[in-house]
Structure 1
């Protein structure tokens, strides 16, 4: 057993005013075990809310790292700092909240046009296709969140849920739905009559590409799930369909899906969401690509790009 001093990295929260404290813990324990010990002394300071770091270093310590490895020969009498990350919410809950927005907003606008446009809308085949695409996409995302995804991080700051949800509720929800289901794209509208937007061959061709993208995206998520045993944070190099070319084929395939909606409608909001979503996913992909290369080094395939084959 060793005694470790836990001090506050900033002003301690009201429920942990007694910091600093000394914690007695076994040398084979992990940082996660240490967080649990802190939570026992301050019940409201639950482990997910804590960020532990070596004094003078802001880098967060990994929950799975052994205390003896982190502190080395400075173990006895060592001091770690804890920072309050604020109220937390599980990633699974965040995803469910994000994706449910479009599942509510699109039907409200599609089925009740009188409320939004002050007129009836005879839906065109284009509008029916887009409504099906959006509904099936976000229903798939909800089911994946419940039954497929395994998260490496359990929680995130509660306030972030509002920022994250805005992307889906406003851009792919309210903005996209309001334009696409409007009289502008109704069955007898000039934007539809005599154009590719009412040609069944074009619509089903778009549907085929969209279905390919969605199924491929699901396949990618299943591959990632199978790399991580339940209840663990194990990471491994992914291989197989899509991964032979890029680190994040799930983002690549999702981009294809939204490109279909953008091309088949040629609507301003569809273009806007496609650009914003692609830029955001590219940023995530580049970060994950760098982390893969850093973690696995020479084991990681050198020819892979982050998100777009041979390009990025």
Structure 2
């Protein structure tokens, strides 16, 4: 049995769409490169990596971190929400994928508004590029799902496993964001080593849980684009986690636990 025939047990046939194909290639390449750049020390400019590893631009327009992060997540949420209203003849899988994407970004919007504490700013460039990436990838995943509605369904149905993975991932992501948000009291701008939950094993369990969310969405979707995007996201977040581990080690030295990995417990 050939590899393509094996994959068709798990995936819808890829649509003959130049847009989806192009977005698959460009998305995977750009996310992989972004992850590699994180490892090399050229970071996406937000959070603790603001002005770290890149040449500081004195005239760069900046937003408050809160407004910047709100701008990052809101457009993708609106894409997901709008798709539930715009696309006709929606089947269960389409509704589940679109709802999961909208829920993922709506949760992030709520966290920005009511959970996270901020002490810095975000360059306008990052506040434009990141939401464009999120919005285009969300729209493409939804569009690829819509195109697959008339295709033969995969013989192995993963969507209910995907729902379970997504729920575990989004709860775990929120839980670890909650821990991070409560590390600092109001007015406290000093970083601390996070403890509790999976922070005792890895420094970025929130990224690990986000990857789990996207694996869940991919299993609900069972389109090639969804899995390709999840692979790219995994590579980027792995690079970002590695950079975060290095940052904590450089800041805290011997106080940072040696057995705490970057993103995969006991492994990496």
TM-score (norm 1): 0.64
Q: Which residue of the partner structure matches residue 107 of structure 1?
A: 81
Once residues 86 and 207 of structure 2 are traced to their aligned partners in structure 1, the CA distance between those partners, rounded to angstroms, is 33
Residue of structure 2 aligned with 1:272, choices 228, 241, 244: 228
Aligned equivalents of 1:268, 1:190: Cα separation in 2: 13
How far is 1:223 from its partner? 0.6
Q: Which residue of 2 aligns with 1:162?
A: 128
- Which structure has the highest helix share of the two? 2
**Residue pairs, 1:125-204, within 5 angstroms:** 125-152=92-119, 154-171=120-137, 173-180=138-145, 182-185=146-149, 189-192=150-153, 195-197=155-157, 202-204=158-160
The 5 Å alignment of 1:20-39 reads none
2:18 corresponds in structure 1 to none
Gaps of 5+ in 1: 1-50, 52-57, 61-82, 114-119
Alignment correspondent of 1:251 = 207
Shift of 1:151: 2.6
Match of 1:87 among 44, 61, 73: 61
Whether contact under 8 Å (1:213, 1:253) holds in the other structure is yes
Deviation, structure 1 residue 216: 0.8
Which residue does the alignment assign to 1:301? 257
Q: Which residue of 2 aligns with 1:38?
A: none
Find runs of 4+ consecutive structure 1 residues off by over 6 angstroms: none
Count of aligned pairs:
217
After TM superposition, the structure 1 = structure 2 runs for residues 200-279 of structure 1, keeping only pairs within 5 Å, are 202-279=158-235
Q: Is the 8 A contact 1:88 1:156 kept in 2?
A: yes
Q: CA deviation at 1:293?
A: 1.2
**C-alpha RMSD of matched pairs (Å):** 2.4
Match of 1:77 in 2: none
**Corresponding residue number in structure 2 for 1:124:** 91
SS, match of residue 243 in structure 1: helix
Alpha carbons 2:184, 2:190 under 8 Å: kept = yes
- Tell me how far apart the structure 1 counterparts of residues 67 and 236 of structure 2 sit (CA, whole Å): 21
TM-aligned CA distance change 1:289 to 1:87, over 3 Å: same
Q: How far apart in 1 are the matches of 2:95 and 2:156?
A: 15
* Structure 1 Cα separation of the partners of residues 207 and 190 of structure 2: 21
Instruction: Pick the structure with more strand per residue.
Output: 1
Larger radius of gyration: 1
Q: CA deviation at 1:97?
A: 1.5
Judged with a 3 Å threshold, the aligned counterparts in structure 2 of structure 1 residues 137 and 59 are, in CA distance, closer, same or farther, namely: closer
Say whether the 8 Å CA contact 1:98–1:169 is kept in structure 2.
no
Deviation at 1:282, TM superposition (A): 1.6
Tell whether the 8 Å contact from 1:110 to 1:177 is kept in structure 2 after alignment.
no
Q: 1:282 to 1:207 in 2, by over 3 A?
A: same
- Structure 2 gap segments, 5+ residues each: 1-49
